[in-house]
Amino acid sequence: MMPVLLMIPDASIAQAMDNTGSDRNIQSNRYFRINYENDFFTASDRDYTQGILIEKVHPAFGGFPLMKILWHPRHTVLKYGLAIEHNAYTPNRIDRFSIQYGERPYAGVLLFKTFLIATDYERRQRFSVSFNPGLIGPGAGGEQMQRSIHHWIHYTQPEGWHNQIRNDLVLNYQINGEKEIYRYQNNFSLFALGAVRVGTLSDKLTSGFTFCLGNFISAFTSPTLLKRHFQWYLYGQILGNAIGYDATLQGGLFNRSSVYTITGSELNRLTIQNKFGIVLIFKSLYLEYYRTGTTEEFRTGPYHRTGGFQIGFGF
């Protein structure tokens, strides 16, 4: 049960949530988990404003047709999963009807994710591979989701979603790699990570490190060798991202009719992301709370902070 990140090319941001990392490991090949993020946790409501990920991992998913297009690393123990992810992005002032030039455009993204996690316990390394088809635009339901949540919490209703990124197809493929480079008993672990993401939603390279401190079982320890009823750990993570394309800022790759986008010349091609959190695991119950910060993704954009929590159940 541990964290981190190595060096292959992207992993997190535009597709905002990624639960395949070692820092979010559940010691079972059968589990269900819900992840919710919102910048409301950090007293803001702009840019990447919220995300929801619902995932299910089960051996039977190995026969799912789209699993065949995923790379299956040899000599590894495999987990197979399916997930739905929904993300929403807004400018600074959601109470304004007109386009806010120099701000992030409104955008909604809906993804249907097919993924596998491959662990080599002997070499203490792990790969995750995913194929993520979906939709960006009004059909993704970003406006409806934000309006509903703001209605529930009695918060300002957004007025500018008619200016959002137009409907377009999303097809993304991603490979993450992790390597545990140092471990001290069951109390400390340091990982390196890298990832590559290519497709119509996001093209990106990522590399970085994660450390984990607490009382836990490493994700690179075979679950048949060691079991523990209660685990806890704090983790910290630093990532560098090299961005080639981001449809949530630049608009879809095929549909160029969006009324407002951020041009490629305005993008910051290099960003830094930091993250810290706490994880509690009691038998089959997984709980996590975390904060994330990301440097400016475009020239006039802000340093952005987001908070989130997860709850999962192993079977």
* pLDDT at residue 222, rounded to an integer: 83
Question: If we measure between CA atoms, which residue out of 26, 28, 24, 34 comes closest to residue 55?
Answer: 34
State how far the Cα of 180 lies from the Cα of 4, in Å rounded to an integer.
Answer: 8
Q: How many domains does the chain have?
A: 1
Tally of residues, the chain:
315
* pLDDT at residue 229, rounded to an integer: 82
* pLDDT at residue 163, rounded to an integer: 96
Residue 216 in any domain: the answer is yes
3-state secondary structure of 275: strand
N- to C-terminal Cα distance for the chain? 16
Run of H or E including 151: helix 142-152
Residue 296 in any domain: the answer is yes
Residue 2 in any domain: the answer is no
Residue 121 in any domain: the answer is yes
C-alpha count within 13 angstroms, C-beta hemisphere, residue 101: 0
Residue 189 in any domain: the answer is yes
Residue 1 in any domain: the answer is no
User: Any idea what DSSP says for residue 206?
Assistant: E
Q: Which CATH number goes with the domain that contains 161?
A: 2.40.128.140
Question: If we measure between CA atoms, which residue out of 198, 180, 156 comes closest to residue 10?
Answer: 198
* pLDDT at residue 11, rounded to an integer: 40
Query: Could you say which residues of the chain have pLDDT below 50?
Result: 1-15
The residue type at 229: H
| Domain membership of residue 110 as a residue range | 7-314
5: tokens are 């990140």
Residue 282 in any domain: the answer is yes
Residue 219 in any domain: the answer is yes
